[in-house]
């Protein structure tokens, strides 16, 4: 695209996503990359075409080129074979695209390597506490996000799957994960069979703070977002048998219902069993 086309694509995508107008400087370098980020879509439907293993390895290398806390490199990626992918799909039957994705990855937080290196080098390991787990989990999240950007760049579609943490112990056993290595999220990967849609996000007034945190009139901002999002991408009511019917169903009602049911209450115990100290 030309600079003017890229600039318009960015402005249009961000207007759709945030409900805010942006003036894009067409002399900026990297407008094509910004346009891909601004218009980013989740893809859950894929063509049957395989993803070349060499391409997957290339994308993993690009993802693992991301920043790492203190160069500790505490993130790994598991590329699953089809039997393991199908086994995970069996655990999560309400997400059938896990089974149909041409490739499936699991992003891992690895707190093992550093502890083992300390033993190998005859050094103490006094930082065995919550921060070590946090660093490894954040590293894995950064690598996951970078993988998404790399996949987008070559035209692949992706869909992160955090719900694998509902089954952390089973996934850990399936992948033979050693102590101090845990699954953070899965990832469907494939060539998209449809365009997908741009998900509206909370206004930048809600999520970008200048100088100090200021949520403003939170209720009014959430209400405005609910209405803007519903006009673009309505949400199907979640579990009406449990929660009943409401006159207007928006994002905030959906998220309140989602988190009104206990989720992963045993995750902390799982992480501790895997050898992480969360104190």
Per-residue pLDDT reduced to its tens digit, 157-208 = 999 999 999 999 999 999 999 999 999 999 999 999 999 999 999 999 999 9
Q: What does the pLDDT look like over 48-88, one tens digit per residue?
A: 999 999 999 999 999 999 999 999 999 999 999 999 999 99
Q: What does the alpha-carbon distance between residue 41 and residue 30 come to, in Å, rounded to a whole number? A: 19
Q: Give per-residue pLDDT as tens, 123-151.
A: 999 999 999 999 999 999 999 999 999 99
- pLDDT surpassing 90 at residue 1: no
- What are the domain boundaries of the chain? 3-38, 53-196, 204-258
Please give the Cα distance from 274 to 179 (Å, whole number). Answer: 5
Angle (nearest 5°) at CA 64 between 97 and 269: 65
pTM over 0.85, yes/no: yes
Which tens digits make up the pLDDT trace of 235-255? Answer: 999 999 999 999 999 999 999
Please report, for residues 14, 185, 236, 240, 253, the alpha-carbon distance to residue 245 in angstroms, rounded to integers and kept in the order given: 32, 32, 11, 6, 11
Q: What is the CATH number of domain 53-196?
A: 3.40.109.10
């Amino acid at each position: 695209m030309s600079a003017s086309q890229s600039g318009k694509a960015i402005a249009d995508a961000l207007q759709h996503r945030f409900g805010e107008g942006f003036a894009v400087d067409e002399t900026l370098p990297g407008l094509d990359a910004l346009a891909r980020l601004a218009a980013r879509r989740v893809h859950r439907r894929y063509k049957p075409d395989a993803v070349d293993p060499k391409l997957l390895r290339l994308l993993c290398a690009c993802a693992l080129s991301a920043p790492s806390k203190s160069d500790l490199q505490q993130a790994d990626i598991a590329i699953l074979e089809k039997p393991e992918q199908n086994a995970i799909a069996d655990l999560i039957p309400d997400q059938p695209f896990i089974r149909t994705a041409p490739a499936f990855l699991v992003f891992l937080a690895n707190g093992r390597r550093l502890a083992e290196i300390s033993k190998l080098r005859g050094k103490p390991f006094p930082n065995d506490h919550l921060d070590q787990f946090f660093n490894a989990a954040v590293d894995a999240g950064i690598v996951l996000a970078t993988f998404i950007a790399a996949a987008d760049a070559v035209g692949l579609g992706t869909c992160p799957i955090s719900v694998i943490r509902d089954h952390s112990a089973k996934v850990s056993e399936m992948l033979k994960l050693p102590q101090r290595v845990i699954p953070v999220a899965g990832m469907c990967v494939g060539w998209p069979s449809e365009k997908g849609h741009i998900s509206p996000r909370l206004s930048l007034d809600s999520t970008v703070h200048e100088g100090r945190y200021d949520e403003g009139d939170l209720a009014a901002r959430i209400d405005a977002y609910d209405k803007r999002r519903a006009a673009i991408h309505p949400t199907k009511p979640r579990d009406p048998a449990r929660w009943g019917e409401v006159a207007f169903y928006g994002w905030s009602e959906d998220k309140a219902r989602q988190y009104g049911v206990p989720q992963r209450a045993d995750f902390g115990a799982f992480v501790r069993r895997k050898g992480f100290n969360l104190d």
